[in-house]
Amino acid sequence: MRQQIRIVLVETSHPGNIGAAARAMKNMGLEEMVLVSPAEHPSAEATSRASGAADLLERARVVDCIAAAVGDCRLVLATSARPRSANWRVFDPGEAARRLTEACAEGPVAVLFGNERNGLSNEQLGHCHALLNIPSNPDYESLNLAQAVQLVTWEIRRQQGVEPRRLAAEAPPATAAQLAHLSQHFRDTLPRLGFEEPRNLQNLVQRIDRLLARAHPDEKEVQILRGILTAIDQRTGGTGT
């Protein structure tokens, strides 16, 4: 479905921003870029800034008007930092991504990003169904074009349920029995370090137990902790647990 989501850059002034936007898109698995009357394209600077997404730039479609870019789209959202007429529906990136994801099941959808200096004009907004606003510091609302593309495309990827990649665990989580043995090892070793008063020792071990429960250590981490305690035992005349 991500191939149905189109990123449209309108009258982009700086070719480097086109390249950086292409990189942002490829990072998030989007492939269709349309350029409406860019100041310069193709460009060596754009290719350099694309950093591995040059193939996306090469496939980018260049048109001379917004109608040609979005005429077949079921939903068109326009990014805007400025307040507009109260008649406009305004979505934040999360809601916008949800609506785009739902609509793209029926056909192409698009997000428009305006010129770096002036954004999208009221006339250009006439091609859109609603606005997309990225909440930012009201004292400094200016986002770089590629940053805006990155934020929006990340939300789209997240909305489509793409899970973060995780490395395989080095060891399985420690069992309850292994954690209990570790807790007892602390109880046996800490008095030899000066924690001898029974009530204080009890409170300390309980806190250590809660810390370990939050940390959810794996078997190897428990073995490391027990190895440290064993080394302490050997140096303080204990026998270990």
- Please write the tens of the pLDDT for every residue from 106-138: 999 999 999 998 899 989 999 999 999 998 888
Alpha-helix runs per DSSP H in the chain: 15-27, 44-50, 54-59, 66-70, 93-103, 122-125, 145-159, 176-189, 198-215, 219-235
| Segment (H or E) for 131 | strand 130-132
The contacts of residue 215 (CB under 8 Å, 6+ apart) are: 221
pLDDT at residue 167 greater than cutoff 80: no
For residue 166, what is the DSSP state? -
**Cα torsion through 130, 123, 2, 95, rounded to 10:** -20
pTM for the model = 0.74
Please name each of the domains of the chain with its CATH number: 2-159 (3.40.1280.10), 176-235 (no CATH)
Q: Give per-residue pLDDT as tens, 62-74.
A: 999 999 999 999 9
CA distance 135 to 138: 8
Give, as one character, the DSSP assignment of residue 191: G
Share of residues in the chain with pLDDT > 70 (%): 92
Separation CA 212–CA 172 (nearest Å): 15
Query: Is the pLDDT score of 84 beyond 70?
Result: no
The residues that bridge with 119 in the sheet, in sequence order, are: 115
Compare 165 and 134 and report the one with higher pLDDT.
134
